[in-house]
Amino acid sequence: VLYVAKERLRGQAILFSEKHQAEINETTGIMRGLQEANMDDEFSINYQFVVDSQTGVPVGAEALARWSSPVLGNVSPSKFIKNAEKSGVINQVTETLLRKTLAEVSTWPGDLFISFNLSAHDIGSSHHIHRLSEIVQSSNFPPKRLTFEITETTLLRDLNRAHDTLQLLKGLGSKVALDDFGTGYSSLSYVQNLPIDRLKIDRSFLHDIEQCRTSQAVVKAILELCESLDLDCIVEGVETEQQFEVLQGLGRMKIQGYLFSKPLPSSDALTYLQFFPEPKLENDPVTGGMVKQSRMR
Ligand code: G
Ligand code: MN
């Protein structure tokens, strides 16, 4: 068929097949890279801070996966997560990432919350969810400061299973956040019926929030919903001062976005934290309060 198509459409068909082939090669390369990866060495975590809109002080951070392959270089998370799911190593990837995250953040000063993303495949396997809870329990990080982020679409795939999974995570004392809120069906019934602690308003509402009254109204409505349901709320994707000003007009909230923090490796994240006075830091044996004091002045 391809041969005939090539004959008839010449350039177009050939271009298509070359592009197609390149994609297949990339997928194959990523899958092989994952199979052969030394995950502990090749995966790392970047942290993006979440700040209080009124004070600018960090209150938490989201853990974001990074893969640096010796063969392929840096591969974006959207690509490697998708291929890890296809090749059946996603559970191993998630377990490695969670273990690494908890080991790193348990050395951080203060009492920030840490968010960790789970995919549909993660919540689809109860064996795997039990493994994840073992990892949490055997870490030095307090489970109550840990939040698991799950997207609306993931939840909707299998609501009954999602409910059981969330219960299990909540049983650890951890929190659950609904990620990318507003992009899916945003059915208010499951916000009410599932054990959710926090909504993350998707960054698509931020793109045009300065000009677009609809986006402003939607963000405002979600903030009010959170207030009345006693849910925590994070506005994602804040990139400019102008966006930030509009948001400030809507009240006090938690904010995540490039304006306040890019995703940072743990060492840079620790440097960032040193700019915020935190009384508990002074006695912290890990970072050493003296170092922090001298840096700040
Ligand atoms: O879907 P989730 O919320 O987990 O996605 C987090 C992703 O969003 C990360 O890859 C992060 O780098 C990206 N991100 C974080 N802040 C911003 C921002 O201000 N603007 C844009 N465009 N992307 C952001
Ligand atoms: Mn997320």
Query: Pick from 274, 245, 258: which is nearest to 48 by CA?
Result: 258
184-232 pLDDT tens trace? 776 777 788 889 999 999 999 999 999 999 999 999 999 999 999 999 9
pLDDT value of residue 19:
83
Residue 284 has pLDDT above 80, yes or no: no
pLDDT value of residue 124:
86
Tokens 């979600």 sit on residue: 222
Report percent pLDDT > 70 for the chain. Answer: 88
Residue 89 has pLDDT above 80, yes or no: yes
Q: How many CA atoms lie within 13 A of 147 on its CB side?
A: 26
Sorting pLDDT into bands at 50, 70 and 90, what band is 17?
Answer: confident
**Rounded Cα distance, 129 and 91, in Å:** 9
Protein residues placing their CB within 5 Å of the ion ligand 2: 117, 149, 179
- 8-45 b/e (C-beta count within 10 Å ≥ 16 → b): eeeeebeeeeeeeeeeeeeeeebbebbeebebeebbbb
Residue 85 has pLDDT above 60, yes or no: yes
pLDDT value of residue 61:
98
- Mean pLDDT score of the chain: 88
In this structure, what token pair is assigned to residue 279? 């009384």
**Rounded Cα distance, 262 and 243, in Å:** 16
Check if 239 has its Cβ closer than 6 Å to any atom of ligand 1.
Answer: yes
Query: Pick from 200, 198, 197, 195: which is nearest to 165 by CA?
Result: 195
113-144 pLDDT tens trace? 999 999 888 988 889 999 999 999 999 999 99
Ligand showing the shortest atom-to-Cα distance for residue 180: 1
Span 40-54, average pLDDT = 98
SS3 252: coil
Check if 48 has its Cβ closer than 6 Å to any atom of ligand 1.
Answer: yes
SS3 277: coil
Considering only CA atoms, which residue is closest to atom 10 of ligand 1? 64
Please state whether beta strands 73-75 and 254-256 pair in parallel, antiparallel, or not at all (unpaired).
unpaired
pLDDT value of residue 9:
60
Considering only CA atoms, which residue is closest to atom 18 of ligand 1? 237
Tokens 């409505």 sit on residue: 221
Span 142-151, average pLDDT = 97
The H-or-E segment that residue 21 falls in is helix 11-36
- Cα–ligand 1 centroid distance for 237 (angstroms): 6
- 100-109 b/e (C-beta count within 10 Å ≥ 16 → b): bbbebbeebb
Check if 232 has its Cβ closer than 6 Å to any atom of ligand 1.
Answer: no
Considering only CA atoms, which residue is closest to atom 16 of ligand 1? 257
Sorting pLDDT into bands at 50, 70 and 90, what band is 291?
Answer: very low
Span 13-19, average pLDDT = 71
Query: pTM (2 decimals)?
Result: 0.87
SS3 137: helix
Span 44-64, average pLDDT = 97
Ligand showing the shortest atom-to-Cα distance for residue 50: 1
Residue 290 has pLDDT above 50, yes or no: no
Tokens 């041969």 sit on residue: 3
Residue 276 has pLDDT above 70, yes or no: yes
Residue 7 has pLDDT above 80, yes or no: no
Q: Which amino acid is at 129?
A: I
Which residues, other chains included, contact 46 with Cβ-Cβ below 8 Å and sequence gap of 6+?
A: 63, 64, 66, 263, 264, 265
The larger pLDDT score, comparing residue 173 to residue 187, is at: 173
**Rounded Cα distance, 42 and 86, in Å:** 19
